[in-house]
Amino acid sequence: MPRSICVVGGGIAGAGAAFALPDAVDVTVLESEAIGGRLASRHREGCIYDHGADHLRLAADDRTDLVRRVAGEALVEITAPIHQFDAEGTITDRPDEFTRWSGANGIDEIVWAFLEAADPAIEEGTTVTGLARRDDEWVVSVAGDRRRFDAVVLATPAAATAVLLEAADWEASGRRRLAEVAGDVPHRTVDVVALHYPFAVEVPYYGLVSVERASDVVWVGRQECKPGHVPAGESLLMVQLGALWSAANAGARAQETALEVAHRIAPLVGDDRLREPDWWDHHRWGRGLPAGRPEDSLCDRTLEDALAVAGDWVAGVGQAHAALDSGLTAGRKLAEHFGLESTV
């Protein structure tokens, strides 16, 4: 029976893996930056805003029951609908069967809820720089230190996974191939701009999504539709820009970006006051969204050596629910590999 398992990466996939591993095993989560990963929140002037994923989208299925059970108290539901807009800026309703959620204190709280339920040791600000397979153990390098574990879950984004696998001191037939596949996963850069206003925007929707994938503005999310995120009488819009826009504006100053976006949003939402936010913020996710996935069989081969991979790129969908599923599956498969019962 394994005594210790290392989960590399503290995004929702890593949290899902830690949650799915049996209670009897010591789990350690090593996260290079902050728990949450691309489920990331910022706090400013009494507002909370999710500057990576805007929400966790759930259908009426088993996963929803699990998320409600684990993160119930931390969840806030976004009940206002999502509408869509076309190239002419015409806004229409959008058929929808999903519920959408953030955390009461920001969307990263959902990741924390899964980790608190799993209760692993957590080390933030800890980057894994190397992996070696030695005598049925994994040696994980961290800032000059070497730690030994019986198994590893790589819940890192595709590029980081590719680097770790490529450099790993580990003789396994699938290692190079999986490193290549991970390294080849195409990603979309996503610029996200927050625009704050000292007045309430009066529209009937939470989010506006573009039907034209190549449009400049692909998403507008009103943070005030998340209970407790924005003081009454104020508005905070999170705007995601498309890949072409990001490529064309790679060198732009953050202030220019924010003001240009405000000028595009005003006619779309139909409120001229939106041209002048009283404060703004900008974040560029260089490898924000993956497209493409490795074959399951390629990932499963690494299980022979007690290593699992997880993440949205493994699921092939840049969505938080898919990353969570991938993490839960990785944890379950690792448990089965050792003949143990997973918690899911």
Closest separation in Å from C-beta 72 to ligand FAD = 19
Of 32 and 210, nearer to ligand FAD (C-beta) is 32
Closest separation in Å from C-beta 339 to ligand FAD = 27
Options 162, 269, 320, 330; binder of ligand FAD; rule CB under 6 A: 320
Options 67, 131, 190, 265; binder of ligand FAD; rule CB under 6 A: 190
Long-range pairs for 66-73: beta carbons < 8 A, 24 or more residues apart: 66/344, 67/101, 67/110, 67/324, 70/19, 70/113, 70/114, 70/117, 71/103, 71/109, 71/110, 71/113, 71/114, 73/104, 73/113
Would you call 177 helix, strand, or coil by DSSP? Answer: helix
Closest separation in Å from C-beta 272 to ligand FAD = 27
Stretch binding ligand FAD (CB under 6 A), from 4-12, 66-74, 165-173, 296-304: 4-12
Options 30, 47, 165, 220; binder of ligand FAD; rule CB under 6 A: 30
Of 260 and 275, nearer to ligand FAD (C-beta) is 260
CB-based contacts of 251: which residues, under 8 Å, 6+ apart?
none
By the rule CB under 6 A, 103 interacts with ligand FAD: no
By the rule CB under 6 A, 226 interacts with ligand FAD: no
Options 41, 99, 156, 246; binder of ligand FAD; rule CB under 6 A: 156
Of 44 and 273, nearer to ligand FAD (C-beta) is 44
**Footprint of ligand FAD on 31-90 (CB under 6 A):** 31-33, 37-39, 52-57
CB of 308 within 8 A of CB of 257? Answer: no
- Binding string to ligand FAD for residues 299 to 318, with x set by CB under 6 A, is what? ------------xx-----x
Stretch binding ligand FAD (CB under 6 A), from 26-34, 59-67, 251-259, 328-336: 26-34
Closest separation in Å from C-beta 207 to ligand FAD = 8
Amino acid at position 280, single letter: W
Tell me how far apart the 2 most distant CA atoms of the chain are, in Å.
67
By the rule CB under 6 A, 10 interacts with ligand FAD: yes
Which of 142, 146, 147, 139 shows the shortest CA–CA distance to 129?
Answer: 142
Closest separation in Å from C-beta 30 to ligand FAD = 5
- The alpha carbon of residue 4 and the mean position of all alpha carbons in its chain are separated, in whole angstroms, by 26
The Cα 234–Cα 47 span in angstroms is 9
Euclidean distance between the first and the last CA atom of the chain, given in angstroms as a whole number: 19
By the rule CB under 6 A, 8 interacts with ligand FAD: yes
Residue 173, number of CB atoms within 10 A of its CB: 9
Phi first, then psi: what are they for 179, rounded to 5°?
-60, -40
Ramachandran region, residue 97 (left: φ > 0; alpha: ψ -120 to 50; beta: rest): alpha
CB-based contacts of 170: which residues, under 8 Å, 6+ apart?
131, 132, 133, 305
- Binding string to ligand FAD for residues 117 to 146, with x set by CB under 6 A, is what? ----------xx------------------
Q: Which residues are at the interface with ligand FAD (CB under 6 A)?
A: 8-14, 30-33, 37-39, 52-57, 127-128, 155-157, 160, 190, 192, 240, 285, 288-289, 311-312, 318-321, 323
